[in-house]
Amino acid sequence: MKKPIVLVVMDGIGKGKGDRGDAVKLAHTPTLDMLLNSCPHTFLKAHGTAVGLPSDADMGNSEVGHNALGCGQIYSQGAKLVDECIKSGDLYKSQVWQDIVSNSVSHDSALHFIGLLSDGNVHSNYNHLKALIIKAKESGVKRVRIHVLLDGRDVPPTSATGYVDDLEKLLAELNGDGFDAQIASGGGRMKVTMDRYQANWDMVRLGWETHVLGEGRQFSSANEAIRTYRDELNVIDQDLPPFVIAKDGRPVGTINDGDSVVLFNFRGDRAIEISMAFEDADFNKFDRKRVPNVIYAGMLEYDGDLKIPKRYLVSPPNIRNTLSELLIEHGIKQYAVSETQKYGHMTYFWNGNRLQKFSENLEVFHEVPSDKVPFDERPWMKSAEITDKVIEAINSGEYGFIRCNYPNGDMVGHTGNLDATILAVGAVDLGISRILNAVKERDALLIITADHGNADDMIEIGKSGEVQVKTAHSLNPVPFIIYDRTTEYKIKSGNFGLANVAPTIARLLGLDVPKVWEESMI
C-alpha cells in the first residue's frame, strides 16, 4: 500500500452554471477554489446511465451514487430494474405478486398501494403504480386503495396536483364492472411515513395512523386536501400534513385484516421503517393501536441483511466485488463516518447494499447523530463533528482508507432555502480546509468528489416564465479532485462517471484494478 487516502464526498455539490440559483458558486469556498485551481481534477457524470438508471434524463441520487462509488461498476438500479421486470412480465410471475392477487381475490379484500406519487425516479415512479393497478384489475382484484405520499423534492415543489389528476383519470377509466379503485390517504413525504435511519419515528407513526387506521383530518379528495393545506400553511408538497379521504364521515380505505399491502417505492432508506411497522412482531417504536393481519410486500428488498421486507416483488441488484472487499483482501483498514442522514450511504450503500461489515477487524464505522431540526435552521449540520472524526482517524495512523460524507449540500438544498444552502456549502468548505491541513501534516492523499448535484441548481423557470424554487437534484456533473503534497498525477481524458472513482483509488493505493470494474482515471 502507498500513502493513506482520505475521500470526502460532498453530498449534493455539483458543478452549476454560476447563475443566481447556484449556491455552490455563491458560497464562500476558498479551499475548494484553491484545490480546483492547483490540483489535478475533472468532472464526473453522476446521473442517468452512468449510475444504472434508465436514461440520462434521470437525475442521480445518493443511493445509486454511493453504490457506484463503492463498487466501481454500473448496475441496473431502482427505476431501471423495476422497469425491466414490469416490461418482461417477471414481476407478475413472481410468487409474491401471485400471493397478493390470490389473497385479494379469495378473500374479496382490498389491495393497498403506498408510495411516493411522482416520476422523480429517485424513490419511485408512479408509472410503476399505474402498471400494477391495471394488472391488479386484469387479475381479478376488485378493490384497490392508494395512499399517496407527495413529493415536491425530486420533482417541482408544487407539482402534486398534476400527478393526482393523472392518477384520478386512470382510476376513472378503470372503475366499473365491479372494480373500485380510490385514493384513500396521503401527505407530504417529509411529514409522514418516509423517515429514514430511524431519525424521526413520529413521521412513521403519523403514516400508520393515516394509512392504516384512517385517523386524521378528512377531505373529499386528495386535490381538496392539497389546495386547502397550501392556502392555510403556504408550504410545498413535501411538507403537506397528512390527510384522509372520507365519504359520509367514514374513511374510504383503512387497512384491515385480510387485505394486501404493497409499498411501491423502490429505494430502500425511506421504506424500511414503515415496513418494520407492518412486519415486526415485537415492534415497539410507537403504539400501533391496531395491527391488521395482511400480506405485505415491498417493491424491492430494502435491507438484504435484516431481510426487510420479508416479501418483495423485484430482486435487488446483487452487487459484488466492491472496493471494501478489495481493500480487505489486501489487509487495508478502513474508516467511514457521516452523520445520521448519510451514515447509511457511507456504509450500507457503499458496501453494495449490505448492512453488515465485510470485516469486523478491518472496517470501522462511526455515526454522528443528526440534529432533529429543519436543516435550513442549522445549515452547518454536523460538519464540524464529522471533520473532527476524520482528523482523529488521520492522526491515528491506523487506516489506509478513510471516507466521509458531508450531507449539507443535499439536505439543506432540498429545503429550497438558497441563503441557507450557501451557508451549508461554506460549512463543507471549512471542514475540507481542516482535513486538508491534517492531510498535509501526515503526508496523506486527499480525494474530493460528490454523489450528485443539488445545491448547484436551486432555481428554475416555470412553464409561465415565473422563477420558482427547485428542490430536486440536478443533472450537473460533480468534481473529482486529487491532492497530494509530494506526488504529481495526471488524470486521463475521457467521459468518466462515479464508477471510475473506485478503480482510481485502487490504483492510487498500488492495487490492481479488478477486470469487472470500470477503468482508472489515472
Q: What is the pLDDT of residues 256-276, one digit of tens each?
A: 999 999 999 998 889 999 999
Q: What is the arithmetic mean of pLDDT over 245-256?
A: 98
How far apart, in Å, are the Cα atoms of 130 and each of 86, 103, 104, 105?
Answer: 11, 20, 18, 19
Confidence of residue 105 (pLDDT cuts 50, 70, 90): very high
Confidence of residue 47 (pLDDT cuts 50, 70, 90): very high
Task: With beta carbons less than 8 A apart as the criterion, state whether 191 and 225 touch.
Answer: no
Confidence of residue 304 (pLDDT cuts 50, 70, 90): low
pLDDT of residue 322: 98
Spatial distance between the Cα atoms of 174 and 195, rounded to a whole number of angstroms:
32
Residues catalogued as catalytic:
62
- Are 5-42+318-485 and 79-314 equal in CATH topology? no
The pLDDT tens digits of the residues spanning 153-182 come to 889 999 999 999 999 999 999 999 999 999
pLDDT of residue 305: 55
Confidence of residue 199 (pLDDT cuts 50, 70, 90): confident
Burial category of 55 from C-beta neighbours within 10 Å (exposed 0-12, middle 13-18, buried 19 and up): exposed
Higher pLDDT, 76 or 430: 430
Query: What stretch of H or E contains 201?
Result: helix 201-207
The pLDDT tens digits of the residues spanning 111-166 come to 999 999 999 888 999 999 999 999 999 999 999 999 999 999 889 999 999 999 99
In 3D space, the residue among 94, 27, 80, 23 whose CA is nearest the CA of residue 51 turns out to be: 80
Matching CATH number, 79-314, of 3.40.640.10, 3.40.1160.10, 1.20.1050.10, 3.40.1450.10: 3.40.1450.10
Spatial distance between the Cα atoms of 455 and 470, rounded to a whole number of angstroms:
10
Spatial distance between the Cα atoms of 51 and 136, rounded to a whole number of angstroms:
31
Confidence of residue 1 (pLDDT cuts 50, 70, 90): low
Confidence of residue 234 (pLDDT cuts 50, 70, 90): very high
Question: Residue 5: phi, psi to the nearest 5?
Answer: -115, 135
Q: Tell me how far apart the terminal alpha carbons of the chain are, to the nearest angstrom.
A: 17
Question: Residue 284: phi, psi to the nearest 5?
Answer: -140, 20
pLDDT of residue 426: 98
| Domain locations along the chain | 5-42+318-485, 79-314
DSSP H helices, 196-316, are 201-207, 222-233, 272-279
Burial category of 433 from C-beta neighbours within 10 Å (exposed 0-12, middle 13-18, buried 19 and up): middle
Confidence of residue 463 (pLDDT cuts 50, 70, 90): low
Spatial distance between the Cα atoms of 474 and 456, rounded to a whole number of angstroms:
7
The pLDDT tens digits of the residues spanning 359-385 come to 999 999 999 999 999 999 999 999 999
Q: What is the arithmetic mean of pLDDT over 486-493?
A: 93
CATH fold of 5-42+318-485, please? Answer: Alkaline Phosphatase, subunit A (3.40.720)
- DSSP one-letter code for 271: T
Question: Residue 150: phi, psi to the nearest 5?
Answer: -95, 140
pLDDT of residue 471: 86
Task: With beta carbons less than 8 A apart as the criterion, state whether 458 and 469 touch.
Answer: yes
The pLDDT tens digits of the residues spanning 399-440 come to 999 999 999 999 999 999 999 999 999 999 999 999 999 999
pLDDT of residue 194: 97
The pLDDT tens digits of the residues spanning 203-230 come to 999 999 999 999 999 999 999 999 999 9
**Sign (positive/negative) of CA torsion 118, 124, 128, 129?**
negative
Query: What stretch of H or E contains 83?
Result: helix 78-88
Residues of the chain with pLDDT > 70: what percent? 99
Predicted structure pTM score: 0.74
Burial category of 381 from C-beta neighbours within 10 Å (exposed 0-12, middle 13-18, buried 19 and up): buried
pLDDT of residue 461: 78
Task: With beta carbons less than 8 A apart as the criterion, state whether 459 and 18 touch.
Answer: no
Spatial distance between the Cα atoms of 495 and 45, rounded to a whole number of angstroms:
8
Residue in the structure block whose three cell numbers are 422497469: 83
Length of the chain equals 522
Task: With beta carbons less than 8 A apart as the criterion, state whether 290 and 341 touch.
Answer: no
Q: Is 225 helix (H, G, I), strand (E, B) or coil?
A: helix
Q: Mean pLDDT, the chain, as a whole number?
A: 95
